[in-house]
Amino acid sequence: MKVAMIGGRTSTLGFKAVGVEVVVAEVPEDGPRLWDELEKDKYAVVMVTEPVFEAIKRERKDFPPSEGLPVVLVVPAVTGPRGIGMARIREKVRKAVGAEI
């Protein structure tokens, strides 16, 4: 199984250099189409930049998958963090342990 990343050209450039399969979203609104076209059964992890994550989430109510593979990791774009990844981690921890940390 492999690792993929969906995001802007600048945000994904470094990941491609270390062997991550990159899918470039020219604009965040390309995200839902790129997610639908992605061969998800090939990947254990799909990293998605925050702007693309927001675009996919707006259009796909079942995104991100709640179980199974691929695991979706939200990463900041080069434009800076929006806090989405950290908020998702907090929510998962809160559900798991029943308290904020």
Residue 6 phi/psi, 5-degree rounding, is -115, 125
10-39 per-position pLDDT tens digit: 999 999 889 999 999 999 999 999 999 999
pLDDT over 90 at 99, yes or no: no
68-85 per-position pLDDT tens digit: 999 999 998 887 677 776
Domain tally, the chain: 1
Per the structure, the complete domain to which residue 29 belongs is given by 2-97
User: Distance between CA 20 and CA 45 in Å, rounded?
Assistant: 10
86 vs 49, 93, 94, CA distance in Å? 13, 11, 12
CATH, residue 67: 3.40.50.10580
Average pLDDT, the chain: 88
